[in-house]
Amino acid sequence: MPSFRSSIPSLALLVLLSLLIGSAHRHTDAWSPRHSAIDEVSYLPDGRLLRTLSLGYESVVADLLWARATSLFGQRYGDADQDWYPWLYHMMDLVTDLDPEFRAAYKYGGTMLRIDGVFVDQSSLIFQKGARQLPTYWYFPFAIGMNYFNQDRRMLAARYMEQAATVARQLQKDLSDAGSLDEEGLVEGYDGPDYLHNLAVSLYSDSDQLEIGLQFLLEEQRHLPTGRARDAVRIKIIETRYLMARRDALAVMGRYKKQTGRLPTMPGDVTTLGLSLPDDPLGGQWIWDEHQGAKEGSLVSDAYERVFGVLAAETGMGNPDRRADRP
């Protein structure tokens, strides 16, 4: 066991690294599209140099960097200023350089980068790095597929979903061959969903993107810990379910207009033709959208602003007057 005296240089280095993490010079990456990083973020050397400087304490330094990154994400997510995303990517890259098997850093780091749709490509880089280091974990190709899906690149999304399904099936087979089964014949330690292959098939087809997107979001929520990233996914799940119901309500309205040549006086009047609107998942009623710029016959929930106002207050993020769903 090393003596206390011999440990002093290493301990001093750890203290120095902690100070560097907390405050130092402003850092911007050469590829960054913006150069006004927030003052409090720090410049750190690349991963190889940092591994050398850590003198065998790579995991400790990685934990310090990870704690700093997740803390800043909690403080800054939802801000209009997004200059800190290049720094966040830099931190995720350093953390995973220092501790290549830090699975949570790949998973949650990649998710934090893409959650606002800001650094989706960098998110994929982190997930790809995780897939190289931990090739038996299906979630990384799944997450890359989700990124491509959100970029409306369905063929690439489908290929990565197939890869995720292959990895999951192989893991299940390997664990089964090793006898890791419980009394019901399930594989102990295996958490890969059995719908990955079907999801890949859906991506290759003309299936509705809202259903696919919801499946992605539900799986992502299942893998995220409690925190702001999970809150953001929860809000997107609520929005997606709302958009699905609204899409179906508009289809009913279209059938009414096709039969009568006009729109009903009130949305609920479709019942006069034996039609019915889907329930509003927000707990309200469908009304005409009178927002400026809305198309004739467009619907909105009368509970929309109230529900998302409560969510914004609960989570500290988002705008209750979201209008991205308008046709």
Cα→Cα distances 144→51, 123, 132, 139, 168, Å: 27, 8, 13, 9, 15
Question: Which of residues 7 and 159 earns the better pLDDT score?
Answer: 159
**What mean pLDDT comes out for the span 38-48?**
52
CA distance 65 to 68: 5
Model confidence over 270-324: pLDDT tens digits?
999 999 999 999 999 999 998 888 888 899 999 999 998 888 888 776 554 444 4
Q: Say how many C-beta atoms besides its own lie within 10 A of residue 91's C-beta.
A: 26
Question: Which of residues 49 and 131 earns the better pLDDT score?
Answer: 131
Q: Do the beta carbons of residue 244 and residue 210 sit within 8 Å?
A: yes
Q: Quick check: 50 pLDDT over 80?
A: no
Cα→Cα distances 260→56, 78, 255, Å: 76, 45, 9
Burial of residue 41, with CB atoms counted within 10 A of its CB: 0-12 exposed, 13-18 middle, 19 or more buried = buried
**What mean pLDDT comes out for the span 77-99?**
83
CA nearest to 124, candidates 91, 146, 101: 146
Q: Which two tokens stand for residue 43?
A: 């410049």
Question: Which of residues 151 and 76 earns the better pLDDT score?
Answer: 151
> For position 206, what pLDDT does the model report?
67
> For position 128, what pLDDT does the model report?
96
Model confidence over 99-135: pLDDT tens digits?
999 999 999 999 889 887 888 999 999 999 999 999 9
Q: Quick check: 34 pLDDT over 70?
A: no
**What mean pLDDT comes out for the span 201-211?**
77
